[in-house]
Amino acid sequence: MLYDRISSPMSLSSLIDCYWVVESNDPTISRQKIIPDGFAEIIFHYGDPYRINISGKWETQSKALLAGQIRNHFLLENTGLSGMIGIKLKPYALAEIFFLEMSEFTDKVADLMSVLREEFETIYPDMISDAPYKSKIEKLNSFFEAYLPSISKSDKIEQAIRLILEEKAALTISEIAEAINISERQLERLFKRYIGLSPKFYCRIIRFNHIFELVQKEEKEWGKLAQLTGFYDQSHFIKNFKEFTGEDPSKYFFNEKNMANFFLKKEQEVQ
């Protein structure tokens, strides 16, 4: 299995966190768990389709997907050879670029061409072709750069997200609102529109993600992790971890080469 992560150009750094690629020539069926990471995505399958179970029922995915914020883990499994390219967007970017109401996509992985057919119909054939993925990324860079002049920026939501990510969500909602000079009610409305989650729940996801960053730095003592990630105590830490992953942290395979660890361990590649 190949996992690759490619940085976006500086011109798109305010909109795109990174591109990612997953490829495999092994048709063996493998079930993968996907865990919330706080980012929305657009994904193209150029290999065989995947099946998804996000609401208790298995369904076959389309070739092009729009993934909103998720509040819990879900399952994926291949049906053959894997080939997919993803655009991991800044949490607010889909709303800014395409004027979407992101609360409509919470806990959903939608058919992209049903939502944004007109916008993506010219680039769609290239994305599902067998061309090398690096050439696809070049086309995606040009595609998104063409939108830059027409983007409706929201400085307040961008400031809030930047602050949350920089501080690893170690802030109260009132502190975030005060820092960007708006009311808590206004902050709630902005998050509903641009993110699809409440600011409180979004902070929970980012705090949870920080666990994986610390584990990468060889910190695996649960009491210390609880303290460093802002939980009241170790029991609250374990409860939160199990809510997002369905597993106790002591039983979670942090070093396993899978999609969940690839997406959450942002500072290193999993080859």
pLDDT in the model for residue 271: 34
- Comparing CA positions, the residue from 158, 260, 156 lying closest to residue 209 is 260
Q: Which fold is adopted by the domain 2-150? A: Jelly Rolls (2.60.120)
Averaged confidence pLDDT in the chain: 92
- pLDDT, mean of residues 150-168: 95
- pLDDT, mean of residues 29-47: 95
Token pair for residue 22? Answer: 């997953």
Phi/psi of residue 24, nearest 5 degrees: -155, 135
Total Cβ atoms within 10 A of residue 202:
24
Question: Tens digits of per-residue pLDDT, 182-241?
Answer: 999 999 999 999 999 999 999 999 998 888 888 877 666 888 888 888 887 788 888 888
Domain segments of the chain as ranges: 2-150, 155-264
Distances in Å between the alpha carbon of 42 and those of 20, 151, 181?
A: 11, 17, 32
Confidence band, pLDDT 50/70/90 cuts, at residue 163: very high
- pLDDT, mean of residues 117-132: 97
Q: Which residues contact 172 (CB under 8 A, 6 or more apart)?
A: none
Which superfamily, per CATH, for 155-264? Homeodomain-like (1.10.10.60)
Question: Tens digits of per-residue pLDDT, 216-231?
Answer: 776 668 888 888 888 8
